[in-house]
Amino acid sequence: MGGLAILARSSGHTVSGCDEDVYPPMSSQLEAVGINLIPGWDKGQIALQPDLFVVGNVVSRGNELIEEILSRRLPYMSGPQWLGENILVDKWVLAVAGTHGKTTVTAMLAWILDFAGLNPSFLIGGVPQNFDLSARLTDSDFVVVEADEYDTAFFDKRSKFVHYRPDTAILNNLEFDHADIFQNLKAIESQFHQLVRIVPRNGLIVFNGGDKNLKRLLRKGSWTPLEQFNGSRSGWRAVEMAPGRIRVSHNSRVKGEIQIRLNGAHNYNNALAALGAARHAGVPAEVGLEALEKFDGVKRRMELVGEVSGVKVLHDFAHHPTAIKCTLDALSDAIGKEKIILALEPRSNTMKMGTMRNKLLNSVQNINKVFCYTRGLDWSIEEALSGFSGTLNCSPHLDVLAKKIVNEAGSGDYILIMSNGSFGDLANKILDAL
């Protein structure tokens, strides 16, 4: 929604917005471009008399402001619909979908196109370091958009990405998530197939050939050319030469060898997906590879927040057990598991419900020290991680948790903070304490 606000302002509109809890980097980004942020849902905001209320999916019936909008029959629209009708129309849309890695792939793809001189517009669910903005509007024919499967709004239960009508679609992976709105994996697959159904026959679907769920999805029907990455034979493949160094091939032809900032198999697949989509837009693989060597990552995706006395504090957005495991495994391979201290907040709706708790132990088995923030949970992390062989500390009190982490840390350690929220600014609390 913050990115949409930036696009709307860039289109010439006067924009303000409200939310219950706005925190950096989005809050500071919006303030920097002159977008007024209003805390809370006071119905008195009706007095602003906007031409249109653009409603995000966090808002539900019973919300004071939305009830007033409905009662007065004021004009409103979902964010994805507004984007589709006002920004994406008549553009070459490159949409990045998948359970994991959407933000990183979208940022990579936007950067490759920008590096190649195509000057794309983009909407990204995070702040890429190469741009320092999560959204940008240009006069380019190309728009890169992160295509989320979460529902559109309380009045539109379709996935957001059905509004985007992509010419180039990336399907990065497919797993069960969002247990608050999807009953099972089959329900998510149904939404993903809606996306597959609207990609035109002169478009391209770039998909993860190593994902069995995606393969099953595409067997239901596809009317668009397909190109795979991470498959067994054809398409895009990466071979790791050293942590962060990969040799890339396309249809068995080596395209180059590069060093990228983000290591780990999941990030190599992210890079391949971006290369495939960029090639469809006319960017040669060699140019894409050169761009990826200069890709600086995304804020709050393995971002170094600071270092004190030899202790590095990093932020990461991972919250699904698969993403947690992939990120920890990649970091462990690079620095060694004995140096990692994990601070985890199970904050997503799916994690709060406990739907994924049985998978959490496998996610953290490759490290030695785990600290969990348990506020607001009605299930026991201690029970879920009862088989963990390392040091486990859990607390519903943030200051207590921060103190325990600081006491455990020593020179050479990496404190990795994982949450899809602000985590009470834990990173800076720890840095201050250190």
Residue 25 has what pLDDT?
Answer: 74
Other Cβ atoms less than 10 A from the Cβ of 323: the count is: 22
- How many Cα atoms within 13 Å fall on the side-chain side of residue 193? 15
243 prior amide bond cis, ω within 30: no
Residue 179 has what pLDDT?
Answer: 60
User: Virtual CA dihedral for 122, 123, 125, 130, nearest 10 degrees?
Assistant: 30
- Greater confidence, 411 or 319? 411
Give the pair of three-digit tokens for residue 126: 């995070």
- Would you place residue 178 in the very low, low, confident or very high pLDDT band (cuts 50, 70, 90)? low
Q: Read off the pTM.
A: 0.84
Chain-centre distance for alpha carbon 240: 24
Span 287-320, pLDDT tens digits:
999 999 999 988 777 788 999 999 999 988 877 8
- Would you place residue 254 in the very low, low, confident or very high pLDDT band (cuts 50, 70, 90)? very high
Show me where the domains of the chain are located.
81-293, 301-433
* Helix (H) or strand (E) segment spanning residue 325: helix 321-335
From start to end of 132-263, where are the E strands?
Answer: 135-136, 142-146, 151-153, 156-159, 168-171, 204-208, 226-229, 236-242, 245-250, 253-259
**Cα–Cα distance between 134 and 131 in angstroms, integer?**
8
Q: 301-433 architecture in CATH? A: Alpha-Beta Complex (3.90)
How would you classify residue 218: left for phi > 0, otherwise alpha for psi between -120 and 50, otherwise beta?
alpha
User: Virtual CA dihedral for 97, 345, 348, 355, nearest 10 degrees?
Assistant: 100
Pairing outcome for strands 168-171 and 204-208: parallel
**Cα–Cα distance between 128 and 113 in angstroms, integer?**
14
Same CATH topology for 81-293 and 301-433: the answer is no
Question: At the fourth CATH level, which superfamily is domain 81-293?
Answer: Mur-like, catalytic domain (3.40.1190.10)
